[in-house]
Copies of this chain bind each other. A is one copy, B any other.
Amino acid sequence: MKFVTTNQGKVREAREYLSDLTTVEQFDYDYTEIQSDSLADIAAAGAEEAYEAAGGDDPVIVDDAGLFVEELDGFPGPYSAYVEDTLGIDRVWELAESLADRRAAFRCTVAYADGDVVETFDGAVSGTLVTPRGSGGFGYDPIFEHDGETFAEMSTEKKNALSHRGRALAKLADWLAENS
């Protein structure tokens, strides 16, 4: 299987979940991300395109992820990276501070394409938005609190164990075990 990503850390994470079922190789390919409020639609379109680009000899997986704030109808959602680059996380917190309900979730969808089927698998970690705390992690980690700690305060091990991507990969592993 080919994981379409430039991030070796993601490839290692996928191997943790899939090594009993398949090999996982990195595939560096810049697929088109479509505009949609659905991570599944974006990842599925990317997986279909990347499967063709890879020559069609091996299944591919693509992931997409974002921070979804409940009371903001999911904002910034699929556009989390763009919003981080433009607004920045301090302004996202400024918006969240005036909300009555600060619940949010990190969501990830992994899409699998093998030329016959395209399947998507979702994972999520729930939390609450808080004043930025902690110096670890990246992106929205300092304002996302889960179980009393922000993701920027957590050890890498603890954060990885909670991974939204890991939860999606675990579902993919179950599906592969049943369907291959």
Residues on the B chain within 8 Å of A35, using CB = 32-35, 42, 78-79, 82
The count of chain A contact residues (Cβ–Cβ below 8 Å) is 23
Instruction: Say yes or no: is A87 at the interface (Cβ < 8 Å to chain B).
Output: yes
Of A67-75, A108-116, A124-132, which stretch is located at the interface? A67-75
The interface residues of chain B lying within 8 Å CB-to-CB of A91 are 72, 95
Report yes or no: A37 in contact with B98, Cβ–Cβ below 8 A: no
- Complex CA gap A146/B42 in Å reads 37
Taken together as a complex, chains A and B put the C-alpha atoms of A32 and B31 apart, in Å, by 14
Q: Residue of B at shortest CB range from A92?
A: B95
The interface residues of chain A, by DSSP majority, are classed as: helix
A37 — which chain B residues lie within 8 A by C-beta?
82
Question: Interface 1/0s, chain A 2-35, versus B by CB < 8 A?
Answer: 0000000000000000000000000000001111
If A34-B35, A79-B79 touch, whether A72 touches B98 (CB-CB below 8 Å) is no
Per the bound structure, the CA–CA distance linking A50 and B143 in Å amounts to 42
Asked whether any CB of chain B lies closer than 8 Å to the CB of A85, the reply is yes
A32-B35, A35-B79, A75-B82 are known; give 15 further A-B pairs, CB within 8 A: A32-B32, A32-B45, A33-B34, A33-B35, A34-B35, A35-B42, A35-B78, A73-B86, A75-B83, A75-B86, A77-B82, A77-B86, A79-B82, A94-B95, A94-B98
